[in-house]
Chains A and B, each alone.
Chain A
């Protein structure tokens, strides 16, 4: 089955700098790659996604890049703010109709002011 590896377990940046979180996946049939954010003590919520028919997507300060050849995707958070501090999870949806997401283990991002 699909395996998703999230390369940074922790990341610390200064306010205003950019943060980059990298993930790799194994299933070439995966076609959907979302990112979720979990603030301390809270649940997860969706932040941005990308589909395999594009290689870049931006939503305000969030940019997702997808490199299908390398089976790698990344989340870029520009102009970081303290409220960006959270755990970020990448995920991949396998091909087929079983609606299953495989999550990475999460990256704890700390934005220091």
Chain B
């Protein structure tokens, strides 16, 4: 059974603190993603990773950075978190390329920045 995990599931931080969100997948998928979901805004892409140390900015990368040192792990880092980064963060991995582009999503991390 294909699985994407995220840790932690819930996190409360103060403004200015650093945040590390972790994502893992056991499917050896090359491509992974970080999204944030806010009410009424759908999913917004933060970063894409095409493989180890091969990362690309998405639509809203400002205030975030990522790290992928192993294919199965993809981290999202917020240096000096801001209150407007309060959101639900989803990690996803791509099943494959042609013929399927299905993305598998993790359970999400609910981050609150006070």
Contacts and interface: CB of A to CB of B under 8 A. Distances in A.
B107 interface: yes
B43 interface: yes
A9 B42 CA distance: 11
Interface string B15-41: 000000000000000010000000011
B42 A46 contact: no
Contacts of B59: 1
B61 interface: no
A100 B42 contact: no
Interface stretch (A14-22, A62-70, A71-79, A101-109): A101-109
B83 interface: no
Contacts of B107: 42-43
A44 B90 contact: yes
A27 to B, nearest CB: 14
Interface residues of B, number: 24
A43 to B, nearest CB: 5
A101 B103 contact: yes
Interface string A78-106: 00000000000100010000111111111
A45 B94 CA distance: 12
Contacts of B104: 46
Most chain B CB atoms below 10 A, which of A43, A45, A49, A106: A43
A34 B97 contact: no
Contact of B105 (A45, A98, A106): A45
A6 B48 CA distance: 23
A28 B93 CA distance: 25
Contacts of A34: 101-103
B42 A99 contact: no
Interface of B: 31, 40-45, 48, 50, 56, 58-59, 90, 92, 94, 97, 101-108
Given A32-B101, A93-B101, 18 more contacts: A9-B40, A34-B102, A34-B103, A36-B105, A42-B107, A43-B108, A44-B43, A89-B42, A98-B48, A98-B56, A99-B48, A99-B101, A100-B48, A101-B45, A102-B45, A103-B42, A105-B40, A106-B42
